[in-house]
Amino acid sequence: MLGIIGAMDEEVLKIKEAMDQVEIKTAAGMEFFCGKLKGLDTVVVRSGIGKVNAAICTQILADQYQVDAVINTGIAGSLENEINIGDIVLSTDSLQHDMDASGFGYALGQIPRMDTLAFPADKRLADLAEECCKKVNPDIQVFRGRVVSGDQFISDKQKKNWLSENFKGACTEMEGAAIAQTAYLNKIPYLVIRAISDKADDSASVDYPVFEAKAIEHSVNLVVEMAARLAG
């Protein structure tokens, strides 16, 4: 069983439309669409925005659906000049940029008493995603890198530079690291897939609504192709 999480309706609607034999259940105010995606047993859910929603959603997937893997799909702001609007980022790992326990001697982003700074993504899923992306989105670039998450929409160049300098992230968003942490604790392979909707700088509030739809289209194309390949 594959679990697919998107933060917003727009990010999961097209995936839901591609599913067959769907049964819908509600938990924690979230609708879980369980059925077949390209022949693969799949559950698709909109988590809502932010780290708490994302973590709750992932734990429900673990407890109630016993998913074998989790993919988090959606959009993000680029933190690197060469990663352009429309491109795809596949997570190598994920961390929470708004976690700061440095007063206790922890590195910025590290959760106290956790044995890792960043939560590593599943390389097998990333390899498959890169291969699928090149097939279904040949007009864009695909990158691998760190996804940094926080309960903030980044639209300030100074904040963007701070994220880049401290965390060496490829992109920034609001859910991936919470999903990563929950998957890590439950020993479930995960991958964050992010289509770039803006440059996470002073132009972000203008670019985001303009490029959101195209970015979502790229990530949906990729996820559906991955499901087809995983189904064999």
| Options 87, 122, 198, 225, the catalytic residue | 198
In the prediction, which pLDDT does 39 show?
96
Interhelix angle 123-136/204-231, nearest 10 degrees? 100
Most trustworthy range by pLDDT among 3-17, 75-89, 100-114: 100-114
| Options 11, 93, 201, 225, the catalytic residue | 11
Nearest CA to 75 out of 226, 230, 207 is that of 207
Is there a catalytic annotation at residue 122? no
In the prediction, which pLDDT does 122 show?
98
Is there a catalytic annotation at residue 198? yes
Does pTM top 0.85 for this prediction? yes
Contact 173, 75 (CB under 8 A): yes
Neighbours of 98 (CB within 10 A): 14
pLDDT digits (tens, 9 = 90+) for 96-120: 999 999 999 999 999 999 999 999 9
In the prediction, which pLDDT does 212 show?
79
pLDDT digits (tens, 9 = 90+) for 173-224: 999 999 999 999 999 999 999 998 888 777 666 566 767 788 888 888 999 9
Contact 193, 71 (CB under 8 A): yes
Q: How far apart are CA 21 and CA 115, in angstroms?
A: 41
Residue 63: what are its φ and ψ, rounded to 5°?
-80, -45
Q: Exposed, middle or buried, 38 (CB in 10 Å: 0-12/13-18/19+)?
A: middle
